[in-house]
Amino acid sequence: MIIGHIGARAGSKGVPNKNFRMLHGKHLIDWSLDQLVESDRVNHVVVSTDSQDIYDHAVAKGCLPMGLRPAELASDTAAKWHVWQHALGKAEEMVGPATAFLDLDCTSPLRSPDDIPAALDLFMAEEPDMVMSCCEARKNPYFNLVEPDETGALKVSKPLPGGVVARQQAPTVYEHAASTYVVKPDYLRSAGGLFEGRVIPYLMPTERCVDIDSPFDFKLVEWLLGEQLKGQSNA
């Protein structure tokens, strides 16, 4: 049994009330929530939130009535991992043991519906503790990411012997894209964080991995999503 999950906290410092803000005619959360509700691979969906409006909206769409998340999981410092653990526990109380916990980040509405079965297929085939959405990093710590030393002088973040003079020579580095995760329930229950077990990447194109964390991000996603919708209408 696959449990789909979305975490949607009410507060946001970067973009106030962003998870329920309208984006191309839908609440931001619905670009991800509708993908879970409409997926034939997902058996049940829960939305973890401290917002009564978001909670009522989710339950009206058929999500499990797990109740509002506790206050200690509603701050901007609460760990995603602990929110997932709480949501999994609440869901399993209602519908029984899960075989996979699928989380979609509602601030990443550019994922394709095809990313859900693709991530689940990878999880089933490789049997890791977690599949995590990633994209190729636009900057590389072995080549063009720098940091100041104790004197303030810039140095390459991860220098290699002999140096790296071209990006193609640098080791492969991925960005952790907050979009799509598939987690083994036993691992989620027992581990203390994301990277304690075997975590493998589900690779997505960069243009589907933009996460809304600022007003600029919102405008960028609004434009990119508009281009997606135009392409679909012209297809």
Please tell me the pTM assigned to this model: 0.92
Report d(CA 10, CA 18) in Å as an integer: 8
Give 28-48 pLDDT, tens digit per residue.
Answer: 999 999 999 999 999 999 999
Read off φ and ψ for residue 92, nearest 5 degrees.
-70, -25
Structural domains in the chain plus CATH codes: 2-136+173-234 (3.90.550.10), 138-172 (no CATH)
Residue 91 has pLDDT above 80, yes or no: yes
Question: Residue 235: which pLDDT band, with cuts at 50, 70 and 90?
Answer: low
Give 153-176 pLDDT, tens digit per residue.
Answer: 999 999 988 888 777 788 899 999
Give 1-20 pLDDT, tens digit per residue.
Answer: 999 999 998 877 668 789 99
Q: What is the mean pLDDT of residues 63-71?
A: 95
Q: Which of the residue ranges 72-86, 106-120, 178-192 would you say has the lowest mean pLDDT? A: 72-86
Residue 219 has pLDDT above 90, yes or no: yes
- Residue 153's Cβ-side half-sphere holds a number of Cα atoms within 13 Å equal to 2
Report d(CA 189, CA 99) in Å as an integer: 12
Three-state DSSP at 114 gives: coil
Residue 74 has pLDDT above 90, yes or no: no
Q: Do 76 and 11 contact (CB within 8 A), yes or no?
A: yes
Give 127-153 pLDDT, tens digit per residue.
Answer: 999 999 999 998 999 988 999 999 999
Residue 213 has pLDDT above 70, yes or no: yes
